[in-house]
A and B are shown apart, each in its own frame.
Chain A
Amino acid sequence: MDYSAYAYAALAVFLAGLLVRAWGWFSSKTGPVAGQVSAPRRVLAFLRGIAGVAGSPKLLRLFTAFFADVVFHRRLFAESRLRWAAHLAMYFGFVFLLLFHAMGTWFTVPLAGVDYARTSPWLFLRDAAGFLVLAGAAAAVLRRFPGPAEPKAPGAAFKDAVALCAVFVILFSGVVLAGAKIVSRQAFDLMAMDYAGVYPGDEEYDALLSFWVKDFGMKSPGVSPPFDPDALASGEELSAVSCEGCHSAPVKSGFLSFAVSRAMAPAAAFSEAAKLPFVLFWVHVLASLAALAAVPWTMLFHVLAAPLSVLANAVMDEKSLPANVSTRQALEMDACLSCAICSAHCSMAPAAAWYQNPNILPADKLAALKKLSRGKALSGGEQARLLEGVAVCTECSRCTVNCPAGINLKDLWECFLAKLADEAPPEAALAGPLGFLAVAGRGGGKPRDADLLSRHARRLSSALFPERPPVDPDMPLEIVPDRGFRESMADSPLSGTFSKCFTCEMCTNACPAVAEAADVEEELGLAPAQVIRCVALGRSVEARTAPMLHKCLTCYRCQEVCPSGVRVTDILGGLKNQAAAAVRRGSTGRAPASPADTEAAA
């Protein structure tokens, strides 16, 4: 049955897909050179990078990474023995079947001759590899039930299910095909006529058939033991001469297919009538070719991209050409296999749960950034959620250290933080330690990123401190009924202490921000004691929009010195939370919401 036309077509689709992917890497619009370097120049930069590795000590790093991370899957081993075992079983089994079964003409024939498929030990090895793949796939399926509480990447369940289905279709059709052929009388007849020159009705034919039923697992209606010893002897002789040049392995060494054939034996006649060997052959061949063609176009592509990502990251460092970093980052997005091991290690997982923003988790973040980098237009709100996802990150590197595909996720976050900071609405989480880490946490940072971040800081400032109403020196000293602002502050054990303030201004005098300011009203809006006073008077607008809140160094001197036990720093912190929540809703311009609203929004 000639399927070469289909094979060439599948190969063409496969190769075209490879070209499309590679073109995507070299022409990506993200990363440090973001569209500034043309694709051909990036190919040249890539070749320079390769040349730099050849003959340098980096070659050793490349080999180590290849064996430890590509072949052995070191990081998956550290993560989970079960996942590792399941993945390696599928991986080794599939690679064996691909090389020595699917591409046997090229790899096995030179080793074992044309008829390797039915000779020892190849028949056994084929079934052993098939068994490995099936066992690995079964473990992968079982691991997903009853579903331990591990993070999952968006869409991964569907993609994994399709890939596992493809594996099962290919493997089952192959195994059952082999089983059906063992018991197939038609297959036997064709071979007997072609190779032994015996025809149904011949005495020699019957002898051969009985020998094959006895020793080779054949099934034929009405042919069953006991056999005539003479016929068996002559059948054995004929088989030795005509058949066993090729069928040298005991049929039982193909243990999977033989076991299936025993199960099918009672239904051998039905199998023949339904042309099962014919149908299964085409299912097996076409499913395998379809999978081959699908590799570059689906998540199956990780089988090529992930090893490339591991190897690229093994030899690249901060001195690598920026053009190559851009190319690598585009490759890395293809290398992600959505295993979500990164999310399982994320230091900011509690924040993702609290904010109900899955973009904070690396696996979700990468999926969203992938869409963004492929030109998907995001609404302002989506941009803001994504920027929050990238900004609420301490760059602890755990995602990067644990990624089985070796993706340098931390670098990706850094690049996209600068890009999104330039495009998205202001992100309040950056006003504080997270902003510090974004600017100073990476040992200097890139000058261009620093510019983009400082532009964002200016936009964030104007969102946090909109035009303030001029202070009326004659304003009446009365409590403003501001939608329950004062009451909600009074309810909290932290901010409720404002009522203990007797305006001694020790806090203001202890404040280093006040000490640094040339003009307190101009630079801070309100001094700490005045912020507390505003809370006591229910003046939420004044309190929430005072630059004092974000010039506060959170050194807790004010709180420590307060003779009355007012938690000054914590009250400033509570107001900061409210201001941040207002920016988060993109609503600083409109009438301030009550803290209760803020709480609900958070």
Chain B
Amino acid sequence: MKTYALFLGCNIESRLPGYGEDAERVLDALGIKTVRLRDFSCCGYPLKNPDAGAAALAAARNLAVARARGLDILTLCSCCHGGLTTSQWLLQNDPAVGEKAAAHLAADGLEYAPDVRVRHFLNVLDEEAGTDAIQSRVKKPRPGVKVAVQYGCHLLRPSRVTRVDDPFEPTVGERLLAAAGVTPVAWERRMDCCGAPVLFLYPDDARRLADKKIASAADAADELATVCTYSYLFFQSRMREKDPALSLTTPAGVLALAMGLKKG
């Protein structure tokens, strides 16, 4: 099994540390090694709106840091995955952006490496461990628990760049959670955007979208397992106000619980 550089990203590092720890334990139990690199910086996603060039430089820096250690990157947060892969596409396809980023990296003594692979947690589990291996390690199946999976737009689309699953009918999350002994469910607003990106300028629109998603998940499921950290934070703040009969978790959290790896 190969070793990956685990890309936690700012949200997991500071706001959702449990997400990262759960994922690390699950990967470790399935024989997939990860290391945390201190030199990783922001993935660049939050910079795309003001300046795609700045975002590309941030992504290029992370790719270079992974290259310096000879590792591929494993992402958890959907927006980190989308941010890194879309910027990687830009670096590879827009020579002007690539050259500028390479010059900045050279000034920091880093090698420009736009070809480092960026893979997502779900795909690595699915392809390198497999659902059978997960199933065989489940210690606490909870078949009665219905789980709604929230992927996050930037994980799935643009699909030819993020390369995770079908852009509108993904199944990888549900397959992994079914192997973990819970019951994944279909839910009406599964593929909707959570609204987080427009919260600052259009708070009412953003909150309406989030509330609709939460209500839809609560109708269908007991738990909402969110891959995307922005969705997670937004749902968390909305659920604090609305308090629906729904608990918020992540696919890594569901897997860790099923495999008896949850702390405390």
From B60, B201, B209, B233, contact of A440 by CB (8 A): B233
Task: Tell whether, in the assembled complex, residue A350 and residue B41 are in contact, meaning their CB atoms are under 8 Å apart.
Answer: yes
Determine the residue in chain A with the shortest Cβ distance to B47: A351
CB of A98 closer than 8 Å to a CB of B: no
**A580 to B47 Cα, complex, angstroms:** 11
B4 to A: closest C-beta gap in Å: 20
From B41, B49, B240, contact of A346 by CB (8 A): B41
**A460 to B240 Cα, complex, angstroms:** 28
Residues of B contacting A602 in the complex (Cβ-Cβ under 8 angstroms): 51, 53-54
A54 to B: closest C-beta gap in Å: 31
Task: Tell whether, in the assembled complex, residue A432 and residue B46 are in contact, meaning their CB atoms are under 8 Å apart.
Answer: yes
Task: Tell whether, in the assembled complex, residue B201 and residue A457 are in contact, meaning their CB atoms are under 8 Å apart.
Answer: yes
A519-553 contacts to B, CB under 8 A, are 550-553
CB of B195 closer than 8 Å to a CB of A: yes
Q: Mark B99-113, 1 if CB is under 8 A from A, else 0.
A: 000001001110000
**A492 to B96 Cα, complex, angstroms:** 9
B153-180 contacts to A, CB under 8 A, are 153-154, 156-159, 167-168
Task: Tell whether, in the assembled complex, residue A350 and residue B44 are in contact, meaning their CB atoms are under 8 Å apart.
Answer: yes
**A492 to B93 Cα, complex, angstroms:** 9
Q: Take A346-B41, A554-B153, A557-B157 as given contacts and tell me if A395 and B51 are in contact as well, using a CB distance cutoff of 8 Å.
A: no
**A580 to B41 Cα, complex, angstroms:** 23
Residues of B contacting A550 in the complex (Cβ-Cβ under 8 angstroms): 198, 201-202
A341 to B: closest C-beta gap in Å: 12
Determine the residue in chain A with the shortest Cβ distance to B52: A577
Prevailing SS type, chain B contact patch: helix
Task: Tell whether, in the assembled complex, residue B42 and residue A347 are in contact, meaning their CB atoms are under 8 Å apart.
Answer: yes
From B10, B60, B94, contact of A493 by CB (8 A): B94
Task: Tell whether, in the assembled complex, residue B14 and residue A397 are in contact, meaning their CB atoms are under 8 Å apart.
Answer: yes
CB of A43 closer than 8 Å to a CB of B: no
Task: Tell whether, in the assembled complex, residue A573 and residue B48 are in contact, meaning their CB atoms are under 8 Å apart.
Answer: yes
Task: Tell whether, in the assembled complex, residue A555 and residue B201 are in contact, meaning their CB atoms are under 8 Å apart.
Answer: no
Binds B, one of A121-129, A241-249, A423-431: A423-431
**A437 to B197 Cα, complex, angstroms:** 10
Residues of A contacting B159 in the complex (Cβ-Cβ under 8 angstroms): 560
B71 to A: closest C-beta gap in Å: 19
Determine the residue in chain A with the shortest Cβ distance to B82: A556
Task: Tell whether, in the assembled complex, residue B237 and residue A394 are in contact, meaning their CB atoms are under 8 Å apart.
Answer: no
CB of A73 closer than 8 Å to a CB of B: no
Residues of A contacting B79 in the complex (Cβ-Cβ under 8 angstroms): 433
B64 to A: closest C-beta gap in Å: 10
Task: Tell whether, in the assembled complex, residue A460 and residue B201 are in contact, meaning their CB atoms are under 8 Å apart.
Answer: yes
Task: Tell whether, in the assembled complex, residue A553 and residue B203 are in contact, meaning their CB atoms are under 8 Å apart.
Answer: no
CB of A435 closer than 8 Å to a CB of B: yes
Task: Tell whether, in the assembled complex, residue A560 and residue B51 are in contact, meaning their CB atoms are under 8 Å apart.
Answer: no
**A473 to B57 Cα, complex, angstroms:** 42
Q: Take A494-B94, A554-B154 as given contacts and tell me if A441 and B53 are in contact as well, using a CB distance cutoff of 8 Å.
A: no
Determine the residue in chain B with the shortest Cβ distance to A394: B10
Which of A355, A394, A437, A577: most chain B Cβ within 10 A? Answer: A394
**A433 to B168 Cα, complex, angstroms:** 23
Task: Tell whether, in the assembled complex, residue B237 and residue A440 are in contact, meaning their CB atoms are under 8 Å apart.
Answer: yes
Residues of A contacting B188 in the complex (Cβ-Cβ under 8 angstroms): none
Interface size class of A (residues with CB under 8 A): 35 or more
Task: Tell whether, in the assembled complex, residue A429 and residue B154 are in contact, meaning their CB atoms are under 8 Å apart.
Answer: no
Which of B79, B157, B209: most chain A Cβ within 10 A? Answer: B157
Determine the residue in chain B with the shortest Cβ distance to A346: B41
Residues of B contacting A470 in the complex (Cβ-Cβ under 8 angstroms): none
CB of A322 closer than 8 Å to a CB of B: no
CB of A271 closer than 8 Å to a CB of B: no
Task: Tell whether, in the assembled complex, residue B157 and residue A438 are in contact, meaning their CB atoms are under 8 Å apart.
Answer: no
Residues of A contacting B167 in the complex (Cβ-Cβ under 8 angstroms): 556, 560
A475-516 contacts to B, CB under 8 A, are 492-494, 512-513, 516
B66 to A: closest C-beta gap in Å: 15
Residues of A contacting B209 in the complex (Cβ-Cβ under 8 angstroms): 512, 516, 553
CB of A349 closer than 8 Å to a CB of B: yes
**A436 to B231 Cα, complex, angstroms:** 11
Task: Tell whether, in the assembled complex, residue B15 and residue A441 are in contact, meaning their CB atoms are under 8 Å apart.
Answer: yes
Residues of B contacting A516 in the complex (Cβ-Cβ under 8 angstroms): 205, 208-209
A504 to B: closest C-beta gap in Å: 18
Task: Tell whether, in the assembled complex, residue A350 and residue B196 are in contact, meaning their CB atoms are under 8 Å apart.
Answer: no
Task: Tell whether, in the assembled complex, residue A440 and residue B234 are in contact, meaning their CB atoms are under 8 Å apart.
Answer: yes
Q: Mark A324-365, 1 if CB is under 8 A from B, else 0.
A: 000000000000000000000111111101110000000000
Determine the residue in chain A with the shortest Cβ distance to B83: A433
From A398, A457, A557, contact of B13 by CB (8 A): A398
Residues of B contacting A345 in the complex (Cβ-Cβ under 8 angstroms): 38
Task: Tell whether, in the assembled complex, residue A573 and residue B157 are in contact, meaning their CB atoms are under 8 Å apart.
Answer: no
From B54, B157, B193, B203, contact of A351 by CB (8 A): B54
Task: Tell whether, in the assembled complex, residue B52 and residue A574 are in contact, meaning their CB atoms are under 8 Å apart.
Answer: yes
CB of A226 closer than 8 Å to a CB of B: no
B230 to A: closest C-beta gap in Å: 6
Residues of A contacting B236 in the complex (Cβ-Cβ under 8 angstroms): 443
Residues of A contacting B205 in the complex (Cβ-Cβ under 8 angstroms): 513, 516, 551
CB of B61 closer than 8 Å to a CB of A: yes
**A506 to B234 Cα, complex, angstroms:** 29
Known A395-B10, A396-B42; further 18 A-B contacts with Cβ < 8 A: A350-B61, A353-B104, A395-B14, A398-B14, A429-B49, A433-B196, A436-B199, A436-B234, A440-B237, A441-B11, A441-B233, A512-B209, A553-B197, A554-B154, A556-B154, A557-B157, A573-B48, A577-B51
11 CB contacts below 8 A, A to B, read A354-B54, A355-B54, A392-B50, A397-B14, A430-B200, A441-B233, A555-B153, A559-B157, A574-B52, A577-B49, A602-B51
